[in-house]
């Protein structure tokens, strides 16, 4: 289990792993020695908690490193107060209204054109729904999940490569 | 009164370091002991909190002379101690108000 936890440390950002990895392994080692005195169930609960903690911790560190929220204090404050750079711009609201008006106008125009044309098309009949097998459905869901995951990872990777997470550390003179 | 109220794990970590400098395992044991076994931090959670407390300047690394490899002690900074005092003061006031509200009223 300790070996598994060592591998899980590789899920952390490199900087975090280099800074705290050795300490974390030392603490896990001491806790493992302590857990030998407890029962089998307690030991499994202990390892489940440790593994869940490492997985959640790795995810949290990646999110914090990507979003640039390096300070825990800042993280807590941001949950309750929006900062100026994250305000929803008023111009976006107006732009959305203009787009909505354009879409409504396009629909009305299409209806008018449709009404003006003579009805010369033959009756097509009801459209039959496509039949999906269970395996095909699972395959489609799996592929869609992989694609969404890959896109999410690519976005996080691009943000990290762009150095956007370091913007909050800049000190303007 | 920034960043208050503190979450319970963070408050317990700061309290354990208020007593004396401690390393990771000692913090975990102390948190568990102080909370009567109610709060059991995982190693990942502890080091996530430690990193953010270090970044915020609430705690700092403490060099121990006879520290074995892989063991790093931490201690409260003046800023961390001030925040802890503010939080304790806030909790005292809250407890006082709660006691007044819940006290049986004389008719």
pLDDT in tens, A35-76: 877 778 888 888 888 888 888 888 888 888 777 665 544 444
- Give B103 or B57, the one with higher predicted confidence: B57
Select from B3, B49, B70 the Cβ nearest to the Cβ of A23: B70
Select from B41, B43, B56 the Cβ nearest to the Cβ of A71: B56
Determine the Cα angle at B29 with ends B27 and B34, to 5°. Answer: 90
Helices B24-34/B43-55 angle, 10° precision: 110
For residues B10 and B72, the answer to whether their CB atoms sit within 8 Å is: no
CA distances to A137, B82, B86, B88, B107 from B96, in Å = 60, 21, 15, 12, 22
With CA atoms as reference, the chain A residue closest to B6 would be A76
- Give A111 or B70, the one with higher predicted confidence: A111
Contacts of A30 in chain B (CB under 8 A): 25
A55 and chain B in contact, CB less than 8 A: yes
Q: How many domains does chain A have?
A: 1
Task: Report the pLDDT value the prediction gives residue A38, as an integer from 0 to 100.
Answer: 78
Residue A121 located in a structural domain: no
CA distances to A7, A45, A113, B32 from B26, in Å = 24, 21, 78, 10
CATH of domain B8-102: 1.10.10.10
The strand order across the sheet containing B59-62 reads: B22-23, B73-76, B59-62
Gap between the Cα atoms of A11 and A24, Å rounded: 13
Q: What is the CA radius of gyration of chain B?
A: 16
Q: pTM above the 0.95 mark?
A: no
List the domain boundaries for chain B: 8-102
pLDDT digits (tens, 9 = 90+) for B62-101: 877 666 665 789 999 999 999 999 999 999 999 999 988 8
Domain that holds residue A32: 2-80
Gap between the Cα atoms of A44 and A33, Å rounded: 14
User: b/e map of A115-136 (b: 16 or more CB within 10 Å)?
Assistant: eeeeeeeeeeeeeeeeeeeeee
Residue A52 located in a structural domain: yes
Task: Report the pLDDT value the prediction gives residue A147, as an integer from 0 to 100.
Answer: 93
Select from B25, B45, B69 the Cβ nearest to the Cβ of A31: B25
Gap between the Cα atoms of A162 and A169, Å rounded: 14
For residues B77 and B60, the answer to whether their CB atoms sit within 8 Å is: yes
Task: Report the pLDDT value the prediction gives residue B18, as an integer from 0 to 100.
Answer: 92
């Amino acid at each position: 289990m300790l070996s598994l936890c060592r591998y899980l440390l590789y899920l952390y950002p490199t900087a975090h792993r280099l800074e705290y990895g050795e300490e974390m392994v030392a603490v896990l080692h001491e806790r493992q020695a302590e857990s030998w005195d407890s029962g089998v169930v307690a030991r499994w609960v202990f390892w489940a908690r440790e593994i869940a903690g490492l997985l959640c911790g790795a995810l949290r560190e990646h999110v914090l490193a990507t979003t640039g929220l390096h300070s825990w204090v800042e993280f807590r404050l941001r949950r309750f107060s929006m900062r100026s750079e994250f305000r929803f711009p008023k111009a976006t609201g107006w732009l959305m209204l203009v787009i909505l008006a354009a879409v409504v106008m396009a629909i009305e125009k299409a209806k008018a054109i449709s009404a003006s044309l003579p009805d010369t098309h033959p009756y097509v009949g009801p459209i039959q729904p496509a039949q999906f097998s269970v395996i095909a459905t699972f395959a489609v869901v799996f592929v869609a999940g992989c694609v969404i995951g890959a896109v999410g990872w690519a976005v996080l990777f691009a943000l990290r490569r762009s150095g956007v997470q370091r913007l909050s550390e800049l000190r303007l003179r | 009164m920034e960043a208050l109220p503190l979450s319970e794990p963070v408050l317990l970590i700061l309290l354990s370091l208020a007593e004396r400098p401690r390393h990771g395992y000692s913090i975990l044991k102390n948190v568990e002991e102080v909370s009567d076994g109610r709060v059991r931090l995982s190693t990942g959670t502890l080091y996530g909190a430690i990193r953010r407390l270090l970044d915020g300047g609430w705690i700092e690394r403490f060099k121990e002379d006879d520290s074995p490899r892989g063991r790093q002690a931490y201690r409260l900074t003046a800023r961390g101690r001030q925040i802890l005092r503010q939080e304790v003061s806030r909790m005292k006031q809250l407890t006082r108000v709660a006691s007044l509200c819940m006290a049986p009223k004389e008719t």
